Amino acid sequence: MGALELSAQIQAGKIGAVETVAKYIRIAKNSRLNTFLAIPEERVLARAKEVQDKIDAGITLSPLAGVPVAVKDNISTEGTETTCASRMLEGYVPVFNATVIDKLEQAGMVVIGKVNMDEFAMGGSSETGYFGAVRNPWDATRVAGGSSGGSAAAVAAMEAPMALGSDTGGSIRQPCAFCGVTGIKPTYGSVSRYGLIAYASSMDQIGVIGTDINDCAALLEIISGPDTRDSTCVTDAPFAFGKENAAKIKIGLPRNYFNDSIDPEIIRAIFMAVKVFEDAGAVVEEFQMPLVDYIVPAYYALSSAEASSNLARFDGLKYGHRATEAKSLSDVYTLSRSQGFGMEVKRRIILGSFVLSSGYYDAYYRKALEIRGMIKEAYNQLFARYDVILAPVAPTTAYKLGENITDPMKMYMADVYTASVNLAGLPAVALPCGFDAQGLPIGMQLIGDAFSEPLLVAAARKYQACTDYHTRKPGVPNL
């Protein structure tokens, strides 16, 4: 069942919330994909009982009441360990909930546990975490994508009907493409970031992952909306879906995305999706995407600079890992951070400190800010011509575990189709649109103007009404 159907069955009394949650816990605990990092079983079942009691009492909750949801391990959950998949935060138990967690609970949903990720959301394969790599449900010798790999893999493997992730440069869309599930990266400022442990504050955005667009839209409707605790949350009300008509939309297709650097099978799948939209009445027009060569350098200069500042708080004094062998204040700083952070996090902290340094600030950081403004303006001009932009998510399907982890530049270049969306603060929907010759999922993304989520959801609904890629499930992982 999808999440909406599951909730309907629970609220109709045909199945019980506690029974449902208990089954998902059993599935998750028996997983061989290294998806979950924490499942507080007793507390989760008690929470399911509370929800069932409210349903039995006739209290109206939401269309997703009783549904279990997995949460990425960089979103604060009161009383449950939240580590960002890092040794630095091993054993850290928050005393407060992120706003999105409070909203899930108000809607009658049940947080089943915390899922694995790239350390501090820095990575594109969910291999950089301290607790080991997440495995892809379609082929357990391959990566699940990142940084929200645990969220996408858990949904794809039916260990949870839906999940929350976060997206800084493609971290929801890329694992959705690799794992064959659906996800929404919302407009920056539409979902509260209060309680999200920051990587790059001006780009981080909590989003949703589910099996289809209807489930994702229902979950986004719950978690979106204003929050006085987050000054960057600018929406006046939650999103409302179902009113937009995508019958005659005009779609832009960036022709310069389809070159020698992208797998031909992905190109074929994207153009098959174009045909589906055209047959449904959409107009598709090719265009030249501007500034493509500058997207990845600008993104990594800015995101690393923000990471360098945000992660300075983890110093071994206030909280975080503290080196027991430290004998001086200098030792506390250097040893604690050296031991607490993994290689990829250190790499980005060093890069960020470099671009912010007095001798290089103007040459790198300021230039990257200027390029960011140019990218946003380019999108403004594109959305004066098109309702939606259709693009690939990644240049390849899921690759082998360990294949690219020692080549940072190759990993970074995989963000070429996704990072510009975060630089401009725009929404995007990731959808499965085919499979390659090895049976691995292929994903595409629909990009819209700021706060155009209702139109993106309507377009995604039209596509999924004509295709069945989102209904296909992986087999038994080959471990």
Active site residues: 72, 147, 171
Closest CA to 377 of 287, 305, 449: 449
Which residues, 6 or more positions from 380, have their beta carbon under 8 angstroms from its beta carbon? none
**CB 210, CB 63: distance < 8 Å:** no
- CB neighbourhood size of 53 (10 A): 12
Computed on alpha carbons and rounded to an integer, the radius of gyration of the chain in Å comes to: 21
Alpha-carbon distance 305 to 193, whole Å?
A: 19
Alpha-carbon distance 178 to 138, whole Å?
A: 9
Q: Which residues of 318-355 are buried (b: 16+ CB within 10 A; e: fewer)?
A: eebbbbeebeeeeebeebbbebbbbebbbebbebbbbb
Question: Which residue carries 């060569």 as its tokens?
Answer: 293
Question: Which residue carries 């596509």 as its tokens?
Answer: 463
Closest CA to 210 of 476, 25, 470: 470
DSSP string for residues in 246-275: -TT-EEEEEGGGSSTTS-HHHHHHHHHHHH
Residue 26: left (phi > 0), alpha (psi -120 to 50), or beta? Answer: alpha
Question: Which residue carries 């909280």 as its tokens?
Answer: 319
DSSP string for residues in 181-237: -EEEEPPTTSB--TTBPPSSTTT-EEEEEESSHHHHHHHHHHHBS--TT-TT---SS
**Helix ranges (DSSP H) in 316-475:** 329-340, 343-356, 367-382, 408-413, 419-424, 453-466
DSSP string for residues in 354-367: HHHSTTTIIIIIIH
DSSP reduced 3-state for 427: coil
Closest CA to 388 of 353, 431, 348: 431
